[in-house]
Amino acid sequence: MADAVLTISSKNYSSWSLRGWLLCKFAGLPFQERQVSSDDESVRKELLLLSPSVRVPCLAYEDVIVWDTLAIAEFLNDLFPEAQLLPRDRVASAFCRSICGEMHSGFVNLRSALPMNLKGHHPGFRVYPAARADIERITEIWRECLSTSGGPFLFGARSMADAMYAPVATRFATYDVTLDAASAAYAARLLALPEMLEWTAAALAEPDEVEELDAEF
């Protein structure tokens, strides 16, 4: 039996749950999964960006409880340094932390205009300028990282940065966002990861729906 329990919410809608889940997978942590229904009022507030704090995912490991995705990432990096969730190079590690922090606290316009919805598909979706600026910044980060590291992931090998940006790749697919060649190839690479395929299959089979996030924009 795994010593760890990861509490998540909807696999279809919760980008933060996906990040925490991927971090555990990338670290090689055996864990049990506990899913809180999206019918829960606090969960719905988080999914609809109406909550001031995000309380899922939450990782319980032995006598430790840690929530907030960045905190989980740092905890897992300490626990499993061989997984290299952070690059070993000091400069790359600092840059990785910075872009993870930017994803964690920024891109509000993208989050609200293009909510995560793996079941949805909106060809020809109109992206308004504020969200477009977020997309341009994200792809700028991706191109810089891939150019510096040589790929195939942002820092060469998989890192916490790839887990942090993976939900963005699902948004780009859902809303038919046109990307430059390097960014499109990276997004496709993320979506083709075995872990992402596993998560997506579960999301598509999920019965719960949040009607506010299923609207035709």
Q: Could you tell me the CA-to-CA distances from 114 to 18, 63, 88, 174, 190 in Å, in that order? A: 16, 37, 34, 8, 18
Residues spanned by CATH 1.20.1050.10 within the chain?
A: 90-199
pLDDT surpasses 50 at 216: no
Pick from 129, 113, 202, 111: nearest CA to 165:
111
User: Residue 3's pLDDT is what?
Assistant: 85
Q: Do 38 and 9 meet the contact criterion of CB atoms below 8 Å apart?
A: yes
Give the whole-angstrom CA distance, residue 187 versus residue 9.
Answer: 23
CB 13 within 8 A of CB 115: yes
pLDDT tens digits along 3-33: 899 999 899 999 999 999 999 999 999 999 9
Confidence of residue 217 (pLDDT cuts 50, 70, 90): very low
Mean pLDDT for the chain overall: 90
Dump strand ranges (E) for the chain: 4-8, 31-35, 58-61, 64-67
In the chain, CATH 3.40.30.10 covers 4-83
Per-residue pLDDT reduced to its tens digit, 68-107: 999 999 999 999 999 999 999 999 999 999 999 999 999 9
Residue 1 to residue 14: CA distance in whole angstroms: 26
pTM: 0.90
Q: Locate tokens 């590690």: which residue?
A: 93
Q: Is the pLDDT of residue 41 over 80?
A: no
Q: How far apart are CA 34 and CA 55, in angstroms?
A: 13
**C-alpha–C-alpha distance, residues 192 and 28, integer Å:** 19
CATH fold of 90-199 reads: Glutathione S-transferase Yfyf (Class Pi); Chain A, domain 2 (1.20.1050)
